[in-house]
Structure 1
Amino acid sequence: MTDCVFTAVSDRHPGVGLDEAPATPAWMAVFSLAMGVFGLLTAEYLPASLLTLMATDLSVSEALAGQAVTVTAVVALFAGLLVPGLTRGIDRRWVLLGFSTLMVASNLLVAISSSFAVLLLMRILLGIALGGFWSMAAAVAMRLVPNALLPRALSIIFSGIAIGTVVAVPLGSYLGGLYGWRSAFFAAAAVGMLTLAFQSFTLPRLAPRRPARLRTVLEVLLRPGIAMGMFGCVLVHSGHFAMFTYVRPFLEGTIGIGAQGLSLMLLGFGVANFVGTLLAGRLLERYPLATLVLMPALVGVAALALVLLPASLPGQAILLALWGLAFGGVPVAWSNWVASAVPDQAESAGGMVVASVQSAIATGAAAGGAVFSLGGSAGVFVAAAVVMLLAALLIALRVRVPSGHGVRQSEGALHL
């Protein structure tokens, strides 16, 4: 099946997407995209580290407060599919700057929200920015660096995820404990302003090319092997975000940890996540399928251990770090898998990835809220562990990956 997927792409669209790369890399622009990833991830993940504080201040349950993640993910899902097509006649530079502006506005308005309903409305703006940005990030990177440097550029861009996990969530928890949860969103808005300024100076003009349409996304999804891979991607992200949304109530309930201790544990999670991102890059070069299987399997084992083993601060910290380490390479691994399968439809593939991941985030947060209401945070972790282990089994049996080390070659052929 692998040969059918990748050969069909190169035969049907020989050289498509390969003739648009520049002769010299625009590294500062690439770093500005990484900053965009960092800022968006900061804003999206903040409710996970501030859940208890937000729920108390806004007089809602923790399960309901967790839906601040869900609404953003649902909007991002549709934005990833629709925004590239709706903005197909606009210079991509201005579109990306627009996303950063929405990010800043969302964080500022959330910080001054007077009710939970208003807060949810403001998170819609973030969902538009998040989905639109993610759908275009890989396609824009392909136009900023030469073909041979694309993997490095993607690694830099995705490092924004790991750095955000290291810095943003623990810092949000720390600021929330000292100055209230609203201060964390003011800080996220400041990060967004820096990102907007940096992108304004570094992003070149990027005239729109080969516009993505919803029909194209559906055609890509129907290619052999793509739907099963996307289903595996959805399962892995659903399990992770179900747990991550309710990690604070879980740790508070099991070991009675305070705000500063929680910040340190989340910092450990983030550092391990960053290390996992670096390790995954090397593992994927040699053992792509084994790496895709191992990551969710380790997260599932760590989740079960967090619930079943006697709770202690050192033990929970180690298991949380194992979770972060194992999940660190997931975004890079799945994005590389999709890029290998559909190099001729970069924005369409980006929209498909956004739809898959954001639907997983929404499903994970919503289902996690339902399970949380019935079985508490421990029930969420057990259910998510089962999902992760099933995802690992599905990937091992049904997902096919390219066996070579590159997706794009100067000759325009795929080497598997």
Structure 2
Amino acid sequence: MNLSTHELKTDSGGLSLLKTWSPVAAITFGTFTFVTTEFLPVGVLPEVASSFAISQGHAGLMMTLPGLLAAIGAPSVLLLAGNINRRSVLIFLCMLLVLSCAISAVATEFEWMLLGRALFGIGLGGFWSLALAISPQLVPERLVPKATAAIFAGVTTAMILGVPLGTYISGLWGWRASFVVTGMLGVLTLATQVLTLPTLPARSKMRVHELVGFLAAPVAKVSLISVVLVFVGHFSTYTYVAPLLVSAGLDTQTITLTLLGFGLVGFMTNIIASRFLPQRIHAALFVNLTSMALVLAALPIVAELPVLLLVALMVWGAAWGALPLCMSTFHRSVPSANEEASSTVFITVIQLAIAAGSGFGGSIVDRFGLSTVFFAGALLYAVAIIFLSTSMAFARRG
């Protein structure tokens, strides 16, 4: 049977669409896998601490160490990669993810667990920097905004599923099984990249002076200081959500559903925010920062009232859901001649903030107790509000 011209065009269009978006889907799946693996310890932290007979603050190093190594890895990987094809670099970083999950899953000492998390951190920093920088190479210029949004969708989805997935699997088969599952996701990610990614030649060899030059812009300093305050404030507290829920007397199933609800409401606010960004970026930042400050201050007060605690966590999830997109939108307004330099600085600062946040939170929990860390997080968000207000006031004055 002969195909009509219309059918041939339809088939050709479908194949062209698949060819265009398959690499983007592979990178999106990669961001999902990396971010899921990054936040996995949040959901299994109490079990890991008990297994290795260490404090929960000490177990928080599973978040702190990868953040530090990712902050080092983000610029180091790209500086060392030089002119190496970016496809090869991405595939190598995914292999590092699989190896790290394998080490974490079989670790018999906490030091081995930290080794696995350190290897993961190096891969995380390099992958994130490249994922944000290569979208112009994956799709035509007119589709770059959609491709970038799709890549961020992997992050949002991971924030919805990553922590509750770890908690759920840990409840069924133990915390080691959680790392086995993320390792399997890593293998699948590796396969999709091998099959779909085109050759991605380095457009330019990134140099140290480009990183330093990016930081010279005043708006870059405002963006990065805001990122530090926002992410330290969040991860100093979010790392200890599971212990907070356990101390409130909630069972594993309820904790899993609560963390899933936290992610779902965040996903919804992320979609809502994307409809009016970047035009309303300042308003979006202040609304969400204020909500975060208020809800974190309220959490210790309602900790003994399970219903109010769950409501407060949903408000927290809604406020946090739009903040990473808002911070990214604000950062992308900074002029830059090198996209890799801009994304590398952004990811480096985020990972440093995550590491600092979880480490800061762990020290507060060990010294002053669980409730105090949430008051500290609220204080950091109050500082962020004052800092942004002051910076924008000076900007309006010229």
TM-score (norm 1): 0.87
Q: State the distance in 1 between where 2:359 and 2:81 align.
A: 30
The residue identity in structure 2 corresponding to 1:327 is: W
Tell me what 2:276 maps to: 283
Matched, 1:215 2:215: no
Q: State the distance in 1 between where 2:281 and 2:322 align.
A: 11
The residue identity in structure 2 corresponding to 1:363 is: A
Deviations 1:89-132 (A, max 9, x none): 21001111111111111111100011001110111111111100
The equivalent position to 1:312 in structure 2, one of 296, 305, 312, is 305
Query: Residue 233 of structure 1: CA displacement?
Result: 0.9
Q: State the distance in 1 between where 2:322 and 2:295 align.
A: 16
Query: Residue 399 of structure 1: CA displacement?
Result: 4.8
Deviates most, 206-215 or 109-118: 206-215
Deviates most, 51-60 or 310-319: 310-319
The residue identity in structure 2 corresponding to 1:63 is: G
Give the 3 Å change call, closer, same or farther, for CA 149–378 of structure 1 in structure 2.
same
Q: What runs of 5+ residues in structure 2 fail to find an aligned partner?
A: 1-16
Q: State the distance in 2 between where 1:64 and 1:225 align.
A: 36
The equivalent position to 1:54 in structure 2, one of 41, 48, 56, is 48
Q: How many residues are treated as equivalent by the alignment? A: 380
Query: Residue 25 of structure 1: CA displacement?
Result: 7.9
Q: Is the 8 A contact 1:292 1:395 kept in 2?
A: no
Q: State the distance in 1 between where 2:363 and 2:223 align.
A: 27
Query: Residue 398 of structure 1: CA displacement?
Result: 1.0
Tell me what 1:99 maps to: 93
Q: State the distance in 1 between where 2:201 and 2:303 align.
A: 57
Q: What runs of 5+ residues in structure 1 fail to find an aligned partner?
A: 1-22, 404-416
Deviations 1:146-192 (A, max 9, x none): 23322211111111111112222111101111211000000101111
Q: Is the 8 A contact 1:239 1:388 kept in 2?
A: yes
Query: Residue 362 of structure 1: CA displacement?
Result: 0.9
Tell me what 2:334 maps to: 341
Tell me what 1:83 maps to: 77
Tell me what 1:252 maps to: 246
Deviations 1:231-280 (A, max 9, x none): 01110010001111111111211x21111111010000010111121112
Query: Residue 336 of structure 1: CA displacement?
Result: 2.5
Q: Is the 8 A contact 2:36 2:162 kept in 1?
A: yes
Larger Rg: 2
Q: Is the 8 A contact 1:111 1:183 kept in 2?
A: yes
Listed as ranges, the matches of 1:182-193 within 5 Å are 182-193=176-187
Q: State the distance in 2 between where 1:277 and 1:221 align.
A: 28
Listed as ranges, the matches of 1:221-236 within 5 Å are 221-236=215-230
Q: Which has the higher helix share?
A: 2
The equivalent position to 2:139 in structure 1, one of 145, 151, 160, is 145
Q: Is the 8 A contact 1:93 1:203 kept in 2?
A: yes
The residue identity in structure 2 corresponding to 1:158 is: F
Which stretches of structure 1, 4 residues or longer, exceed 3 Å deviation after superposition?
none
Tell me what 1:298 maps to: 291
Tell me what 2:378 maps to: 385
Q: Is the 8 A contact 1:25 1:146 kept in 2?
A: no
RMSD: 2.0
The residue identity in structure 2 corresponding to 1:278 is: I
Matched, 1:329 2:322: yes
Q: State the distance in 1 between where 2:361 and 2:342 align.
A: 28
Q: State the distance in 2 between where 1:249 and 1:35 align.
A: 29
Query: Residue 309 of structure 1: CA displacement?
Result: 3.2
Tell me what 1:264 maps to: 257
The equivalent position to 2:107 in structure 1, one of 94, 108, 113, is 113
Matched, 1:239 2:233: yes
TM-score (norm 2): 0.91
Secondary structure of the 1:285 match is: coil
Q: Aligned residues: percent identity?
A: 33
Q: State the distance in 1 between where 2:118 and 2:172 align.
A: 27
Listed as ranges, the matches of 1:390-401 within 5 Å are 390-399=383-392
Query: Residue 307 of structure 1: CA displacement?
Result: 1.5
